[in-house]
Structure 1
């Protein structure tokens, strides 16, 4: 089923997969040309769906294979999982603490990280870019795991992860471009800034695949690290942002369950 793709090197596989996830971010940002306003109800549902996808991907595509690989390599599985998972969360917390950024829907004086005089548009893009780092890293680590040849890593599972992350990138591109357009920025520039938030994924993906390919002993830690980083994004950003309007909590909850089910189905069917 994946034979043509399987013939490529893991670096090329990762590059193609992360270019796809970046492209879906751009597709979400392109709504600025066609839809002047996306109803808050729909955007919240999209963010909830994205959260469900990332939660499922964190377990099915990252934590579970990481635990299996730890056992195969003679590590203590539970300890490897805990160290890697918490390491990913701590890394994202430190990045979130120091990198200047602004979450969509907030005022400029509510920006996080080191205080700067940067423009609101720059801070908005940095917020989404920050959260795309673990996604690109996860894809790179997944394809690196396949290249190493451990039984618990499959090409189908890595592709499923890339598909799932691509799906949840759509609302992220929209969440940047539409607010910028509403604030008076031109549609073209709003689109460019919205899609720019996904540019970090190919870079993070290549770092991930090269790192684990040449340092195979840390692969289980790297998978769990990526899972921890993704869960941090879900809890710190996606779920709170999707539930800022209390009236939409039930809708967001069902959308999150749907996202989890879609990613779970992709991983089980393809992996």
Structure 2
């Protein structure tokens, strides 16, 4: 990130930085030795959520609102409200598409191989399968409860072994990457849009765009780990787990350059683009990061992580803006 460089160059450098931190986060799986890492992952996810919420306002929504302040009444809100809604709708639709591809959750994608590698494993828990506590995960936990009570497992509960045997290993890996990559698109777009908007309003400054890139880079640390750690715990090699963890962040480079190109050439779209990125990020926090960080009994750790993440990003945007 260089002062005076073109918006496209700034966007490329900014998203290169966020990808590098994604790769670093994925590489932390190298140090995973047991099953106690869940509390650290939940705290990191909460921290990431706080960073994203603060960045969504100070680096994206505030400049968007200022750009529409020349309008009067409801016309001031239309670009911001519509852009925010469309951003959330985009991530929702992307999740639906991934579901159509049979990627119901990352639990679905990795549990099959783990059971295939270790047939004696008949339960799935927060300790051995991480990331995204969905309906499928709840059904597996329900199955475990029946096992602990020495009762017969009802027939309507799906068997992870039978359901996953027909899935190809590489298909599961690719769908896992798609599921996480979908959530990296709005983050890269946000960085690109922020750099493309520099100078278009009093709050759209190089410093705010730089701080947004730093904030997203920080929250990418646990995101990279959230991919590589489950893969490693599912039985994949450390090298392969780290490789796919960092690969999920590469999409931010393309989304960032596209966002900067779009707003550099079509200035009227700026308020929509900024609020679109904010809506997408908020949806990811509310729909994925917060529920996941609270799903395994580490809710207080995640909540305080969120508070500290918010304070850090707010300090970057407000205290270091000059």
Deviation at 1:143, TM superposition (A): 0.3
The yes-or-no answer on 1:36 pairing with 2:33 is yes
The 1-side partners of 2:227 and 2:210 are apart by 26
Residue 70 of structure 1 aligns with which residue? Answer: 68
Q: Report the aligned-residue RMSD.
A: 2.0
Of residues 108, 127, 137, the one that matches 2:189 is 137
Q: Contact 1:173/1:194 (CA < 8 Å) preserved in 2?
A: yes
Choose between structure 1 and 2: higher helix proportion.
1
Residue 169 of structure 1 aligns with which residue? Answer: 220
Q: Contact 1:68/1:77 (CA < 8 Å) preserved in 2?
A: no
Q: Contact 1:89/1:232 (CA < 8 Å) preserved in 2?
A: yes
What are the within-5 Å matches in structure 2 for residues 1-271 of structure 1? 5-37=2-34, 39-72=37-70, 76-99=75-98, 100=101, 101=103, 103-104=105-106, 106-108=107-109, 110=136, 119-146=171-198, 148-245=199-296, 247-271=297-321
Aligned length: 261
Deviation at 1:72, TM superposition (A): 4.1
Deviation at 1:51, TM superposition (A): 0.5
The 2-side partners of 1:27 and 1:256 are apart by 21
The 2-side partners of 1:137 and 1:255 are apart by 25
Q: Report which of the two structures shows the higher radius of gyration computed on alpha carbons.
A: 2
Q: Contact 1:102/1:124 (CA < 8 Å) preserved in 2?
A: no
Q: Contact 1:65/1:153 (CA < 8 Å) preserved in 2?
A: yes
1:262 counterpart SS class: helix
Q: Structure 1 residues 80 and 236 mapped into 2: Cα distance closer, same or farther (>3 Å)?
A: same
What TM-score do the two structures reach when normalised by structure 2? 0.77
CA deviation vs aligned residue, 1:89-111 (integer Å, no higher than 9, x gap):
1111111111344544x234859
What TM-score do the two structures reach when normalised by structure 1? 0.91
Q: Structure 1 residues 66 and 215 mapped into 2: Cα distance closer, same or farther (>3 Å)?
A: same
Deviation at 1:254, TM superposition (A): 1.0
Residue 146 of structure 2 aligns with which residue? Answer: none
Q: Contact 2:63/2:201 (CA < 8 Å) preserved in 1?
A: no
The 1-side partners of 2:304 and 2:25 are apart by 21
2:273 counterpart SS class: helix
Q: Contact 2:66/2:201 (CA < 8 Å) preserved in 1?
A: no
Moved over 6 A (4+): none
Q: Contact 1:141/1:212 (CA < 8 Å) preserved in 2?
A: yes
